[in-house]
Chains A and B, each alone.
Chain A
Amino acid sequence: MQFFGGSEISPSPPVPTVSGNNAHMMYVFNRNGVCLLYKEWNRPLHTLNPQQDHKLMFGLLFSLKSLTAKMDPVNADKGNLGVPQLPGQGCSFHSFRTNTYKLSFMETPSGIKIILVTHPKTGDLRESLKYIYGLYVEYVVKNPIYNPGSPIKSELFNTALDQYVRSIS
């Protein structure tokens, strides 16, 4: 389970633990699989068109969560593989690493999934993802014109996010 202490953004972002190149890209999904935000800073290789890419990413994360809930060696009572899990239920993963990238993942209790794809030598980004969620709450959720479930088009959010992600690289 993940707990979020306090409802306002901390005055200063957490000390960056990462070292290495800039972040590659970032996704934000809601609980229905709608891609609310996709940002790309450095992506030389595009394998699929954007819609397929988002669907594939969401599907991968959904299946990985199902896998980790089932493979959990500590909890004795697990559901069957493939049973949809509520956010926060069952063991969830927070990152995976390949030889070319590292994907950091965070799911909030409301089902918002934040994904950051970075250089493989990046450290633990959980605090940074929490900070980004704080930015989302301040600039997007608290915006009265924003329609929940629709793609995010807030300039302020984009700028703040850009600034923060560049600062952790």
Chain B
Amino acid sequence: MAAAIYSLYIINKSGGLIFYKDCGTKGRMDTNDSLRVASLWHSMHAISQQLSPVNGCSGIELLEADTFDLHCFQSLPGTKFFVVCEPGTPHMESLLRYIYELYTDYVLKNPFYEIEMPIRCELFDINLTQAVQSDRVALLGR
């Protein structure tokens, strides 16, 4: 089952982009645009909680558009992981949780990493690339 992931973003709790990986979109965004998109998403996520008809809303988890789906996972400290993928791609939630595990292992436990700063950890990149390959994502579903 092919899982087409277009891009992955990680935002810190203040809404700043700390990681962006593009896996094949047409018209690749430049740095400024990706920063703007990330902060826009951070604000939209917060506003969606305000508009909830019932208590206990934790923000947008899935956005379905014409040509892509956007899955978002928010960790307890407030770091958001979101992935842009083909409409209907399965197992994105488990992929996001797996990426969160990679983040805690290779980024947070790295003594040279400054929290809330852009991520520049090679091992994180390597493991992430392995994780988003299609056969790996299909495995996560089982």
Interface residues of A (CB under 8 A from B): 24-25, 42-45, 47-48, 53, 56-57, 59-60, 63-64, 66-68, 70-78, 81, 91-101, 103, 117
Contacts of A66 in B (CB 8 A): 40
Q: Please state if A56 and B26 are interface contacts (CB–CB under 8 Å).
A: no
Cβ-neighbour of A94 out of B27, B29, B60, B65 (below 8 A): B65
A80–B66 alpha-carbon span in the complex (Å):
19
Q: Please state if B37 and A60 are interface contacts (CB–CB under 8 Å).
A: no
With contacts A72-B68, A74-B26 taken as known, whether A64 is within 8 angstroms of B52 at the C-beta atoms is no
Q: Please state if A91 and B37 are interface contacts (CB–CB under 8 Å).
A: no
With contacts A45-B52, A96-B62, A100-B53 taken as known, whether A67 is within 8 angstroms of B37 at the C-beta atoms is yes
Number of chain B residues whose Cβ lies closer than 8 Å to a Cβ of chain A: 38
Which chain A residue lies CB-closest to B64?
A: A95
Contacts of B51 in A (CB 8 A): 47, 53, 56-57, 60, 103, 117
Interface segment out of the listed B42-50, B109-117, B134-142: B42-50
Is B75 in the interface zone, CB < 8 Å from A? no
Q: Please state if A45 and B55 are interface contacts (CB–CB under 8 Å).
A: yes
Nearest-CB distance from A57 to chain B (Å)?
Answer: 6
A8–B42 alpha-carbon span in the complex (Å):
41
A165–B9 alpha-carbon span in the complex (Å):
37
Contacts of A48 in B (CB 8 A): 50
Q: Please state if A56 and B84 are interface contacts (CB–CB under 8 Å).
A: no
Contacts of B48 in A (CB 8 A): 60, 96, 98, 103
Within 8 A of A (CB), among B1-39: 6-7, 24-27, 29, 33, 36-37
With contacts A56-B47, A67-B41 taken as known, whether A100 is within 8 angstroms of B52 at the C-beta atoms is yes
A-contact bits for B58-80, CB 8 A (1 contact / 0 none): 11111111111010000000000
Q: Please state if B57 and A25 are interface contacts (CB–CB under 8 Å).
A: no
Known: A73-B68, A74-B68. 5 other contacts (CB 8 A): A64-B44, A68-B63, A68-B65, A81-B37, A100-B56
